[in-house]
Amino acid sequence: MTFVYPYLLFGLLLGSIPIIVYYLMRFRSLRIPWGADYILERALARRKKKIYWDQIILLALRALVVMALVTAFARPQSRTGQSQETGGSTLRIILADGSYSMLAGKSPQIVHDIAVEAMRDLVARWGRGEKWSLYAMDSHPRWVVDQKDVIDAEHCRAILDTLKVEETAVSLAAGLKAVLEHGVGMRREIYMFTDDQASNWDGVDKVMAGKDDKTRIFWIHPPLTDRRNLAVTRLELSHERVLRGFVFSAYAQVRNCSTEAVRDAELTFLVDGAMSGVKRVSLPPGQTTRVSMDLRIEEAGPHLVTARLGDDVLKFDNALSAGVEVAPAISLLVLRDADRAGKFDSSAGFLGLVARVLAGGSTNEAAGPLRVEEYAGAGCELSLLESHDAVVLDGGRTLTPELTATLRRYVERGGGLILAADDTIDLAAWTRRLGPAGLLPATPARVRNEPLAGEVCRRLSRSGFDLPALRSLETGADGDITQVRFYTWVECETTAPGAEVLARFADGSSYAWLRRWERGSVVLLAAGLNSRNNNLLMRETIYPFLLNLFAESAGAGQYTRCVGRNEPVRYFAKGEPPPAGAMFGLEGEEPVVAALIPQAQGTRVEYAPGSSRSGAASLLVLRENSQERIWFGVQGERTDSDLTAMAPAYRAQLAEKLAWTEVGSARELMDALEQAGHGVERYGWVLAAVLLFAFGELLMGLRFV
């Protein structure tokens, strides 16, 4: 028998209080003149000895009540023989694994739930005043409770309920090292609530220096029978802004995180929760594959694309989402010089033709997805540019410093600029004006002008990039993309930092570059869209590619709909009336208020903290008479999906060194503690003694009534 608070045993001296009170009351007795001596003497003479013994027994009982209460407060405990030798009180330490793998298991038997249940049962055995600590291992390993007194079980449980599993891996070696360095010299009971994932346990065998004879370790790890786990590790869209009714691609990356091969697992693509297509995935252990799915959305507005695998042992890594904006149409503004008014002199002619074709041959371009305007004035107002989704700058357009500055501001504020470098380009002017302004993804070096329908030409490559618009051209029905030929083009040399190549010619040279600048983007095409020397009109199959290119460019100003964990979530809200409020929501969690930041062309809606976990998120933008939900996909790295158990030999080595007691559930933990009689409080017996003594005192008192 030991005590949690042995120093409280000095309080046994309080047992003298009833005796002191007895004599104090006797000393302060009431003085009464009394005439009935005769009766009083007779009563005293006959009962004096009985009263004397009654007083002795009463005093003894009262003293025992006080002493038993003091003993109860000192918290007597039963200990094993080993613990009895060490003496002193015990520090209880809970080591809680908050890594992603703790979500493994079939509901309701998820490892984390079983661990929390065991923790709750464990703290229920503790009493007020005991010392305990809680070390949470998640993305920020920390002491949640650092050698605090237990107030009561409910308080401990409230703290335990704050523990969450995060999308992170943890190092048990670091965690155990911190725990073993905690409360050195004290008698410790360490309760490890973690799984047997091999990656977690790496290096644990090197950090056991702090383990001493006073430390006893319990390892609570619910067993996993099925460890086959597939994870969607990435979901990308070919464009985050697409045209209504036009095909775009979703690419899902799937990894087999288990040690067994997986066959024919279903990967479902969903748009706004509705299934759009299914692919079957077979993967060897540890391998990753990329699965694409062509999607087409017929409704304009923000949408959510999700790739989801069927449920397995760790279902929380089976889905990822991405947001996409579907535009009903794109309006282009072509900037040309007034003296280049010929049908084939500027892009406007060709693009106008494309617009009419897409409108079904109608002369009303507004009926189609592409609307083209041209501007040949000398100056150009920024407001004119910003009233269109993208601006096409012809190669023959005279570049003035004013125009360059306006274009730069246009891009900085989120505009999409398409540079169509045709054979009329003034290379020196472009390099001089646009280069320093940061508007050139690559530096045009020279113009190649080959005879029309001659042998020398350039064709678009199908393999340089994977766009559905080009992939469909492989079919015989649609013809061959190679028939789109360029007889004039510009050869570029230096690619600007941050620029990426969107498309290439068949010979491997670049055809289209993209450079994001401030909030906008610049697309440089190595060949013009004027079709004077190019047979762009030969095949309409180039149209989808161009439209997706325009859509991408038109969406330059919009913030990405696919963000990482803890990255800011932003949306640029245009139009009237301005947003009155906005809420950020993550599925399964309470929505929070997002910030509204007024800007020149609209309002930026922002939730800077972002989401701490992967999943579908949204910004609900509230206007005066309407509301709009903008979907975002939050995608974090899958760092803890591998459920491989540690090697048996390594496990045996650790078991020998740490001498842990290994249990699989709350019930087994309780049984283990009961069998060891370890840390079992005995104050129940003491309180029973208190009650017994108090009852005896009551009975003695009743004798006098």
Partner 1 sequence: MAEPKKSELTLESVLPADVRDALRQLELFARKKAEGLLHGAHLSRRKGVSTEFDHHKQYMPGDPIKHVDWKVSARHDRYYVKRYIEDTALSVLLVVDSSASQKQATAGVSTWRQTAQLTACLAYLVLRQRDSVGLAMTNAANTLWLPSSSTQTQLVRILQALVTARAAAADALDVSLRAILERVSRRGLVVVLSDLMFEPDAVRLDIRKLQARGHEVLLFQIRDPDVEKFPFNRWVRFESLERAGVHYRVDTVPLKRFYLEEYRDFMQGWKTWARKHDVHFITLGSDEPVETALSEYLAFRAGGRGA
Question: Whose CA is closest to 248, among 234, 237, 264?
Answer: 237
Separation CA 78–CA 88 (nearest Å): 12
Question: Nearest to residue 392, comparing CAs of 427, 420, 413, 364?
Answer: 420
Confirm or reject binding of residue 29 to partner 1 (CB under 8 A): yes
Q: What's the rounded Cα separation, in Å, for the pair 264 and 280? A: 5
Phi and psi torsions of 169, nearest 5°: -100, 155
The verdict on 477 binding partner 1 (CB under 8 A) reads no
Please identify, among the stretches 25-33, 138-146, 314-322, 686-694, the one whose residues bind partner 1 according to the rule CB under 8 A. Answer: 25-33
**What residues have CB less than 8 Å from 25, skipping those under 6 apart?**
none
Contact between residue 653 and residue 255 where contact means Cβ atoms under 8 Å apart:
no
d(CA 565, CA 611): 5
Of residues 54 and 412, the one with the C-beta less far from partner 1: 54
In the region spanning residues 30 to 89, those forming contacts with partner 1, defined by CB under 8 A, are 30-44, 46-47, 51, 54-55
Contact pick of 26, 140, 206, 263 for partner 1 (by CB under 8 A): 26
Write down the least CB distance from residue 46 to partner 1, Å.
7
Q: Which has the closest alpha carbon to 244: 156, 324, 336, 349?
A: 324
**What six digits make up the tokens of 506?**
């068949």
CB of 65 to partner 1, least distance (A): 18
CB atoms within 10 A of CB 57: 13
In the bound complex, what is the minimum distance in angstroms from residue 44's beta carbon to partner 1?
Answer: 7
Question: Is 501 or 694 the residue whose CB approaches partner 1 more closely?
Answer: 694
**Nearest distance, CB of residue 700 and partner 1, angstroms:** 9
**Considering the complex, what minimum distance in angstroms separates the CB of residue 22 from partner 1?**
8
698 binds partner 1 (CB under 8 A): no
Residue 55 CB, nearest approach to partner 1 (Å): 7
| Segment interacting with partner 1, rule: CB under 8 A, options 21-29, 141-149, 539-547, 617-625 | 21-29
Q: Does 705 sit near partner 1 (CB under 8 A)?
A: yes
**CA–CA distance, 243 with 251 (Å, rounded to integer):** 18
Q: Distance (Å, rounded) from C-alpha 36 to C-alpha 41? A: 9
**Interface segment toward partner 1; rule CB under 8 A; list 24-32, 179-187, 324-332, 351-359:** 24-32
| Closest CB to partner 1 among residues 36, 428 | 36
Q: Which residue, 341 or 699, has its beta carbon nearer to partner 1? A: 699
- 467 near 460, Cβ under 8 Å? no
Helix intervals (H) in 472-600: 542-554
If the CB atoms of residues 43 and 659 are measured against partner 1, the closer one turns out to be 43
> What is the closest distance, in whole angstroms, from the C-beta atom of residue 24 to partner 1 in the complex?
9
Question: In whole angstroms, how close is the CB of 23 to partner 1 at the nearest point?
Answer: 10
The residues pairing with 680 across neighbouring beta strands, listed in sequence order, are: 78
Burial zone of 383 (CB within 10 Å; 0-12 exposed, 13-18 middle, 19+ buried): exposed
Q: Does residue number 428 form part of the binding site for partner 1 (CB under 8 A)?
A: no
Rounded to a whole number of angstroms, the minimum distance from the CB of residue 51 to partner 1 is 5
Q: Which stretch binds partner 1 (CB under 8 A): 116-124, 131-139, 431-439, 696-704?
A: 696-704
Residues forming contacts to partner 1 in the complex (CB under 8 A) are: 25-26, 28-44, 46-47, 51, 54-55, 701, 703-705
